[in-house]
Amino acid sequence: MDFPSTQFVPSRAMGTYEPIHQIGMWGENFKSISNPNISASVIVDVANKLENESETTSHEMLVPSSKHDQEASKPFDKIQRRLAQNREAARKSRLRKKAYVQQLENSRLKLIQLEQELERSRQQGLYVGGGLEAGHLGISGAVNSGIAAFEMGYERWMEEQNKQICELRSALNAQISEIELRILVESGMSHYFELFRMKSSVAKADVFYVMSGKWKTSAERFFAWIGGFRPSELLKVLVPQIDPLTDQQILDVCNLKQSCQQAEDALSQGMEKLRETVSATLASGQMGQGTYVPQVAMAMEKLEALVCFVNQADHLRQETLQQMSYILTTRQAARGLLALGEYIHRLQALSNLWANHPREPA
Amino acid sequence: MLYSMQEAIPYKSHMAATAGGRSRFHNFLKGADNGGGRRLVTNGTKTSVMELVVENAVIVFGRRGCCMCHVVNRLLLGLGVNPAVCEVDEEKEEAVLNELSMVNGGGIQFPAVFVGGKLFGGLDRVMSTHITGELVPILKEAGALWL
């Protein structure tokens, strides 16, 4: 008869032996579930091992009794009691095991979820893991909820945007009245203005979130300027889609492009000045005095101006869209909005394609 | 409306003629601290502030080292305007804001742009009027820009 490494401890009350080692093991394993570093496969292996062991131990629990039966002097009820206790212990053991496996399953699902999130983040080119930027460590609940609210809002915004693009597409192919088309154009414009409002709100919570364009796909971020599209670039993309334009319109659009360029340059130079100011403040005084020196708080004060820049950039985008709608006819504006929507879709498709196309392993 | 003689001279030659000569000229071109423009000071008194507003076709009031002020100045310079720039020290900030509000009859925020002796607005207004094309004619009318 072969007993594996279970130890028998005399039970105080009944004079029977209980494999306390087994109970101990269940307890240890409950603790280890909270350690996220154990991979799912290891956990499953351990579970299987324990399952096998518990089955053999249940058998073992009966063996001592059969041994004792050889002494015919043992009263019948004592044997019955022992059997009952064994059954009870086995039942409890099974319950514990069930609970343990349930916890294992939950952990496994959570792990799969986390791995998927990680993969998504990697594909989007976000920096994940290590360092102060990882996740939202150390950011207050208010910031987190501001960002969460924005991300939910953006998802809805994107759904509505896709609907509007479809409507524009069919409206331009069909013969709808000028008034109906105008309504579509106005909705499209308001929809963008709504996005600018949302961005302004989340910029107050975390301006770096807006500056990084985290809610956008990678290709969109590649083209971003101060948290969004560059108005003059947008005009270059859209205007060829809106041909034919009258001579006056061509002149107006040309002037608009130039004004955008000048405004963008002024804002870019202001950003450069901000970087210089923050850098100079941060680097002032002597180094080698530790990290939490007054310079850091002073630099942070200067950095507040970044919120203004984000707002001014969105203001510029809004004014540009507005001005275009004045210059163009309703039909041209509708074509412009459709082109803009489809251009963004293509950028998103590009990001997707990029993330999924096979590459040489590094 | 009193404009100083400096208005009539294009800013490049003006800067070269003032004290400091070459290095200041280069600094000026680089944008220096305030984004360019002719630097003026105020002691925060009514007379001082009124003088500045009235004597300049375009003047920008802003906090010292303010980046938004820098943006306004760069934009105006890019259009060919030679704006007067008044950088206000923190101590004088409240006084200047008060005086300016009285000129305007209402609340003022930095940066504040005055054109032709009247309040024009802040960076928002400068940006939107530039996009709509209204800014340049207004500047020309005030004598801040020549064709």
Mean pLDDT calculated for residue range A41-67: 50
- Hunting for tokens 């074509």 — which residue is that? A335
- Alpha-carbon dihedral angle through residues B81, B82, B88, B89, given to the nearest 10 degrees: 130
The pLDDT, as a whole number, for residue A20 is: 47
Interface test with chain A among B33, B74, B81, B126, by most A beta carbons within 10 Å: B74
Q: Which residues of B touch A262 (CB under 8 A)?
A: 75, 78-79, 130
Name the minimum distance, in Å, from the CA of A320 to any CA of chain B.
7
Query: How many contiguous H segments (helices) and E segments (strands) does chain A have?
Result: 12, 2
Give tens-digit pLDDT for A164-216.
Answer: 999 999 999 998 899 999 999 999 999 999 999 999 999 999 999 999 999 99
Identify the contact set of chain A against chain B, taking CB-CB distances under 8 A. 255-256, 259-260, 262-263, 265-267, 269-271, 273-274, 277, 305, 308-309, 312, 315-316, 319-320, 323
Interface test with chain A among B29, B60, B63, B70, by most A beta carbons within 10 Å: B70
Confidence label for A103 from pLDDT (cuts 50, 70 and 90): confident
Which of B27, B31, B25 lies closest to B12 in space, CA to CA?
Answer: B25
The pLDDT, as a whole number, for residue A60 is: 46
ω before A358 within 30° of 0 (cis)? no
Note the ipTM here.
Answer: 0.78
Which of A337, A331, A335 lies closest to A179 in space, CA to CA?
Answer: A331
Pairing of strands B84-88, B118-121: unpaired
Q: Which residues of B touch A269 (CB under 8 A)?
A: 31, 35, 70-71, 74
Q: Which residues of A touch B131 (CB under 8 A)?
A: 256, 259-260, 263, 316, 319-320, 323
> How many C-beta atoms lie closer than 10 Å to residue B65's C-beta?
16
Q: Are A6 and A19 in contact (CB under 8 A)?
A: yes
The letter for the amino acid at A287 is M
Taking CA atoms, what residue in A is nearest to B129?
A319
| Alpha carbon distance A355, A120 (integer Å) | 9
Q: Check whether A26 has a pLDDT greater than 50.
A: no
The pLDDT, as a whole number, for residue A173 is: 92
| Of residues B71, B78, B132, nearest to A270 (C-beta) | B71
Check A263 against B72: CB less than 8 A apart.
no
Q: Check whether B14 has a pLDDT greater than 50.
A: no
B23 touches chain A (CB under 8 A): no
Q: Is A125 left (phi over 0), alpha (psi -120 to 50) or beta?
A: left
pTM above 0.80, yes or no: no
Computed over every residue of chain B, the mean pLDDT equals 79
Which of B50, B38, B40, B37 lies closest to B89 in space, CA to CA?
Answer: B40
The pLDDT, as a whole number, for residue A113 is: 82
The pLDDT, as a whole number, for residue A293 is: 79
The pLDDT, as a whole number, for residue A289 is: 73
Give tens-digit pLDDT for A84-94.
Answer: 989 988 988 88
The letter for the amino acid at B129 is T
Check A270 against B68: CB less than 8 A apart.
yes
